[in-house]
Structure 1
Amino acid sequence: MPPPPPPALPQPPDDRTGREASHAPHGLRGWHGLRGWRPWRPWPGSGGLSTTAAGAELAVVIAFVLMRAGTLLEILPAAPHGMSRATDPALDAALMAVALAQSLAMCAVAVRRRQYPAGGWARADVAVAMGVLLCEPWYLRPEDWVGTWTAWGGALSVNAVFGAAIGFPARRQTVVATAAIAAAYALPSVVLSDAHASTAASNLIGYLVFAVAARSSATFIRRLGRDADEARRQAAVSAAEAERDRHRLLLHDQITIMRLLSEPGLEPGLVEVLRRQAAAGAARVRHFLEQPDGGGPDGPDGPDEGPGMLAALVRQAGEGFTDLPIDYAVDLAADVPVPRAAARPLREALATVLHNVRAHAAAGQVVVHADAPPGLGHWEVSVRDDGRGFDQARRPLGFGLRVQVSRALAEVGVESEIRSAPGAGTVVLLRGRLEER
């Protein structure tokens, strides 16, 4: 009997994702959105380039290092042939050694700092490139000054222009560095070599093109990184403000209830009403604290039942305010629908308005009116009291009217208007668009 087959070994996890290796066809692996894809990493152990100012600077550094490395990899294989034609091979070798050492050191500093090393390093890069170009008449034949890798200083100087364009903080510094390198190239190649003057003059345009392209691209990439950082900062501030408002929305009306309960001499009927409202508020706060995410917008009683009729929503909002002298005029709104998205915010906004009336107005009468005027395409709810009122020019709206009423309703497409004057009471008018049925 043949031996049983060995047990199948488990599929090794994909080192890119920690999951099993992708079984996508070979030609499709690595495409964004497919299993096994990962962001490109500039060197082992590094994360993908982030959309931050630091990530943008790292992208600029990578571009510089790759360009300089590519140039050096083209120069070095041509070095033996160039030195065999050089009039002074020792000077050629010495200059190449200096350029190589300076380039490697500069790239190492840039990679370590994750930032282009401006200042002394950038000036040294320009100086080395200029020195190589100006020394060409002493170690090269005139016929090799233009158009050959024997004159390797031209390629190095283009790299130096690229570095000056992305590295110097001031545009003027880039212009001066580019002009100086172009002049160092032009002196032997144009002035001293009539045979190659026209070709060398055309090559000078390349310095300008590289300077403008590199400067504008690096500036744009860096600005994107800064803008992304600022957007994240603003988002964090907005999130913190939203979370603070969320807590205030939860506690504002409850604080009003607790303050009233702490006052002596309350009528027994009002005490009972406030206790019921305090119990309901405590349940909402407990639900908020017990949920991992602070609880959803529906609270402990579950989601809203859907669209409601305007008159019913208004009466529901006033159920906990039997202590107030409220007259309802809502019969004309009995069949007026309110969209699901606006039903709960409208009910809570009306409750906040009534909390304000109870706490501040000392009103003898409160009239709540709801209607849908024919032909206007909207419904209206008004809460009018004959209480103290306030000076709107001198006293800004409090959190309840400003956020729990105006802002919360605006988010669901309901307009709000508040009118008040000292001694003349307050009117809160809410208006929403009618839905077609």
Structure 2
Amino acid sequence: MSLTNASPADAAQAAKSASHVLATLSADARNDALTAIHDSLAAARDDILAANARDLELARQAAADGKLSQSLVARLDLGKTGKWEDMLKGILDVRQLDDPVGQVTLRTRLDDGLELERVTCPIGVLLIIFEARPEVIANIAALAVKSGNAAILKGGKESTESFVAISRVISAALDKTQVPNGAIQLVTTRDVIPDLLALDRYIDLVIPRGANELVRYIKNNTRIPVLGHADGLCSIYLEQSADPAMAAEVIVDSKTSYPAACNSLETLLVQKSALATLLPTVATALATKGVELRCDAQSKAALQNTPNNNLTLADATDADFATEFLSLTLAVKTVPSLSEAITHINTHGSHHTDCILTAERAQAEQFMAAVDSAGVYWNASTRFADGMRYGFGTEVGISTNKIHSRGPVGLEGLMIYKYKLRGQGQATAGYGEGEGKKRFLHQSLPLE
């Protein structure tokens, strides 16, 4: 990894050249680089966390002055319980995954001596633009190296100290490996995002990691394909047959374990027949975590006599059901049945991760088939939408796209494929339906 203040075009050209070398390295060479990155970061823990603490101090002051959101401050904190350890573990988890490069996914004999293969290969050069989240640098570096992709990273000014410290460590580690230093670059020049987004000649995929304003800006200002999501507007439908204790536990975890995350719960849809039986238990559990409930008229009425003085209730507006709060605020809406819940999610949601809580399998299967989201869950917290939890090692982000990769994007989402055709001098003129023409065999062969 190199810290560069080169022009965007020069940085992108260097990354493209490095990507051609990285794509041909052996799996052992790429895994050795991951080992070096992990060990170097572990040894530099105190220095990196000290740099992160300096960023945090400035960010908290900016938040107090109204210049930065509290959710961004939360995402910046690398010392948050378990985050540092998860970052390091993610590198090792990625290292031990099967090599994604060069996997044969199709083999066909077109004719004797003419065989076609489809083989996985890296996308090329990734551009990752992120806010806060300093662990993104290690996540991306690990996934990029393992998958044979080059990566250019551009972070926000709120995490400058953190990502410079991490980048210097990774750069020094890569210098001892076969991975070209230019394969992973951190651009330190300010105000270059528009220039980077114009470099579709060199950059193959943009992955934004940040607030919806950032993601929407990127999608609207580049010809390069963009992988990501603008909003994490996740919903849970509470159906009347759900177990009350289970429902409370799943909803509390979905909302409060990390409110600033894109996979946290933002809207709770409650079946009308569950208002009196289930909602009070759930609301009481949420109140113990300090959650404010923004309720429609029916759900608010159902909670008015709940024997808990800690409930914080407010009247919901239409906008609340299309808002990613990223805080301890939850919109609550009453729906008469499953079909209305599905319609609400498909209309107002962001196609990220949505869940049904029910004891009825048929209801659950209908929900998961009909909801148009990257993740559809039955009786499980929305917070499971995560590359590490899916077994991907880590992730470059979560995609709500309809093409290429969807959901948490790990190694598989950073691969495409090429076709290899091995012949013995054949020409297309010799094949067809007429006299003297040969017909294709199109014989499927084992994937060896």
Task: Report the TM range for the smaller structure's normalisation.
Answer: under 0.3
TM-score, normalised to structure 1, is 0.20
Please identify the structure whose Cα radius of gyration is greater.
1
Structure of greater relative contact order (alpha carbons < 8 Å, 6+ residues apart): 2
